[in-house]
Structure 1
Amino acid sequence: MFALCDANSMYASCEKVFDPSIRNKPVVVLTNNDGCICAACGIAKRLGVGKKFVPYFQVKKELEAVGAVIRSSNYELYADLSQRMMDTCARFAPDINVYSIDECFLYYGKEPLPPQEGWATLASRIRKTVWREVRLPICVGIGPTPTLAKVANHAAKKVEGFKGVSVLDTQAIRKEVLSQMGVTEVWGIGKRLGLRLNALGINTAWQLANRDPSQIRKEFSIIVENTVRELNGEVRHTWDSVRAAKKEIYSTRSFGNRITEFNELRSALASHAETVAVKLRKQKSLTASMTLFATSSPHDTEGYFRRSHFHRFTVPTNDTRNIVKVIESAMVQLYQSGVRYYKCGVGLLDLHDEGLFQYDLFSPSNDNAKLMSCMDNINARYGRSTVQMAAKGFEQKFAMRREFLSPQYTTKWSDIPKIKC
């Protein structure tokens, strides 16, 4: 059996954890640079103002009219509360797979004995424990396959009568739920695939479940066949206990404000270089080459400008100093006076496993592993950029615009909630 634990409106719910004054108000969270809506709480959705990826400026007056609370994306807070939620859920199963920032699968084995309290009571206990300890509202769906666990979670959220908990442990309940689900609401069935299925008369999840898997494979793919088999209780999805290391690592972001100065662009690139270097060391890899780019906006009236620079290291490295050092030579190619830069980024390519890489006898590495480890440990304990490269600068005018940012209650000393008795 599998259980899927999924937080309701994760970002918006995180904003309410430490701010009781907004718990009964519509809350909307914006994307990077406060551009579009990326999350909305249930109250906002019921008021019709929580449509995803609508530009904020277009609905600003509508949001003001209903008294909506606007928040910039507080990724530091969301990541920390997500980890707390996952740690809490993990106590209720022998195995866990974190699927995304707001959901995880719990695995109980191929033929587990039902818990003494019953599956529904267990699901309810998970839900109540996460609410009590983390203050995040979640829904829990339990089924014999990952896809049916997803279906059960959908029912727990959206089908009347389930109230946050659903268990698909009988044929009757499975038929009842699948008959009420559109085919595009099934995990892995997108809009385009849904249109093709609709053309064959498959409009609900129940109709899809009753199709011949072999025939579905011929007409579509093995992925859709696996979905059909999972809807019928046959486990086809698995997850790796150890995720494969990334083959490329990028850090890119548009600026909060356009930048035109040489030093500002150099600092922005150094900031991205520091970010990718930390990620590189975290997966214990070395990079043999890197790419950098800087660009203006294609919508600017001054004309579009884009430049990139490729660099190959003599000896693969994961030392931040070596990666940042490349920026100085790249700036000659990337910077042009008068350009209003909108975005820049750094990418590490041709990655190698640090433990398996064979160094050249005549080209020794100049990486300082102890220094990098010391930096990473300090920043992990006291917060990002506690120790940083000087090239990154201290007044970052290029930083992401977050005008409605809430405090980082759990990851920043100055933002720790203060209680006065």
Structure 2
Amino acid sequence: MFGLVDAVSFYARCEKVFDPSIRHKPVVVLTNNDGCVCAVCPLARELGVPKFIPYFKIKHFLEKHNVVVRSSNYELYADLSERMMNVIARYSDNHYVYSIDESFLHFKNFSCIDDWHQYGHVIRKAVWRETRLPVGVGFGATLTLAKAANHASKKLPGFDGVAVIEDSSDGTSSRKDILTCMSLTDIWGVGNKLGKKLSQLGIKNGWDLANQSPKAMRSQFGVTVERTVNELNGIPCLKWDEIGQDKQEIFSTRSFGQRVTDEHVLKAALASHASIVATKVRKQGSLIKRLVIFASSSPHDDNYYKKSFIYEFPIATDNTLKIVGAISYVFDNIYRQGVSFYRCGVGGVELENSQFQQQDMFTLSLNNPPLMKCYDQINYRYGRGAVEVAVAEKSDKWAMRRNFLSPSYTSKWSDIPKIIC
């Protein structure tokens, strides 16, 4: 049996954990630079606040209905996510963190559980008691069915935060009931484009998709859809390690809080992104062979400008100093005087496994594992940016705009909640 535990409106609920004054108010959270609405709590959803709409378009609507607006507080969300995952991990023998608010469970040696519905409530109560975050819990015979059950636990009527998809001995089928109520795009792995193509064949919901011929689906749409059909019928096709495979590309990009024209500021921003990419690459045990560096003005500008450059390392590396150093080699090809830069970023696009690296007989390796280990340990202990390359100095000119930022209750001494008795 597989399970999926997913937080309800995670970002918005995180904002309420340490601020009792807004727990019973509608809350929305904005994306980078306070651009769009990315998270909406249930109370705000009842008011009709949509997700991914630019903030300026609904600013007056939010003010009229006294909706609490917050900037994305990633430090707070990451810390609460770690706490939530530590609680969830206690309730299975195999646990994989799928995203910041989702966690898959595999109950390989938990055959003693007789009532999965009750066990789901045990998990929900534990997470709520220790983190004050509400979660939905879904169980199924495959990863896709567990994902569908989780969707039902949170969004379909008749469920109380826990859903189990199984065919019982008396002939009743929760699988049919749930999949019939799910649209195609609610099924894991079916996006908008694929959903439109399937709907043209008369396939209207998840149950219709489950009743298709796997071979016919493969011939028309490929092996991924064939696997989805089999998984919806309780036939495991996705291996446990497939959902946690290493990323093939790792990027760090961001728009500026205000336009950047100074070359030194732009170079510092690119260096900071390169440093972030290097840290992420080491975390998953990979090396970078090719690095993409780009910067652009706004696509809404009259004279839109975008320039990118690919730097190739002689030997794949995870050394922050070498990765950041690549910025200097290509910077003159990217920067143009007079351009008001709106966005920039860096990405590793050709990654290799650090354990199976092909060495070069005539070129020395650029890696320095002891130095990078020390670098990561210091930043992990004292916070990201405690140690940084000099060229990546912080600047308010390119720092992210967060005008509605809540305190970092769990990561800054000055922001720790105070209780007055």
**C-alpha distance after superposition, 1:238-266 (max 9, x if no partner):** 23179444443322211111011121111
Alignment of structure 1 residues 13-412 onto 2, 5 Å? 13-49=13-49, 51-109=50-108, 113-116=111-114, 118-169=115-166, 170=168, 171-240=172-241, 243-301=244-302, 303-357=303-357, 359-360=359-360, 363-365=363-365, 367-412=367-412
Task: Supply the AA of the counterpart residue of 2:159.
Answer: F
Contact 2:248/2:349, CA 8 A, preserved across alignment: yes
**C-alpha distance after superposition, 1:79-138 (max 9, x if no partner):** 22122212211111111222222112211139x63515x111101110111100111101
- Cα 1:122–1:384 change in 2 (3 A) is same
**Mean alpha-carbon deviation: is it higher for 9-18 or for 162-171?**
162-171
RMSD between superposed Cα atoms in Å? 2.4
Q: Quote how far apart the aligned CAs of 1:44 are.
A: 0.4
Contact 1:272/1:346, CA 8 A, preserved across alignment: yes
Q: Quote how far apart the aligned CAs of 1:362 are.
A: 5.1
Task: Supply the AA of the counterpart residue of 2:226.
Answer: E
CA distance in 1, matches of 2:155, 2:316: 51
- Cα 1:300–1:361 change in 2 (3 A) is same
CA distance in 2, matches of 1:314, 1:220: 39
- Cα 1:211–1:256 change in 2 (3 A) is same
CA distance in 2, matches of 1:309, 1:200: 43
2:268 counterpart SS class: helix
- Cα 1:96–1:65 change in 2 (3 A) is same
CA distance in 1, matches of 2:136, 2:228: 22
- Cα 1:326–1:227 change in 2 (3 A) is closer
Contact 2:265/2:395, CA 8 A, preserved across alignment: no
Task: Supply the AA of the counterpart residue of 2:286.
Answer: S
Contact 1:264/1:396, CA 8 A, preserved across alignment: no
**C-alpha distance after superposition, 1:313-347 (max 9, x if no partner):** 34543322222233334332222222111111223
Contact 1:183/1:203, CA 8 A, preserved across alignment: yes
2:91 counterpart SS class: coil
CA distance in 1, matches of 2:399, 2:413: 21
- Cα 1:88–1:70 change in 2 (3 A) is same
1:251 counterpart SS class: strand
**Mean alpha-carbon deviation: is it higher for 73-82 or for 176-185?**
176-185
CA distance in 1, matches of 2:174, 2:361: 66
CA distance in 1, matches of 2:243, 2:82: 18
- Cα 1:230–1:247 change in 2 (3 A) is closer
CA distance in 2, matches of 1:37, 1:374: 38
**Mean alpha-carbon deviation: is it higher for 162-171 or for 256-265?**
162-171
Q: Quote how far apart the aligned CAs of 1:367 are.
A: 4.5
Unaligned runs of 5+ in 2: none
CA distance in 2, matches of 1:23, 1:13: 8
Task: Supply the AA of the counterpart residue of 2:70.
Answer: R
2:173 counterpart SS class: helix
Contact 1:383/1:412, CA 8 A, preserved across alignment: no
**C-alpha distance after superposition, 1:361-385 (max 9, x if no partner):** 6543465433322221111011110
- Cα 1:369–1:396 change in 2 (3 A) is farther
- Cα 1:225–1:402 change in 2 (3 A) is same
2:111 counterpart SS class: coil
Contact 2:98/2:244, CA 8 A, preserved across alignment: no
- Cα 1:164–1:263 change in 2 (3 A) is same
1:91 counterpart SS class: helix
- Cα 1:305–1:128 change in 2 (3 A) is same
Contact 1:319/1:367, CA 8 A, preserved across alignment: yes
CA distance in 2, matches of 1:242, 1:46: 33
1:132 counterpart SS class: helix
CA distance in 2, matches of 1:245, 1:368: 22
2:125 counterpart SS class: helix
Give me the TM-score of the superposition, normalised by structure 1. Answer: 0.91
Task: Supply the AA of the counterpart residue of 2:296.
Answer: T
Percent of residue pairs identical? 53
CA distance in 2, matches of 1:228, 1:369: 44
Unaligned runs of 5+ in 1: none
1:309 counterpart SS class: strand
**C-alpha distance after superposition, 1:251-310 (max 9, x if no partner):** 221111101112111111111121112122223333344332222112113x12223334
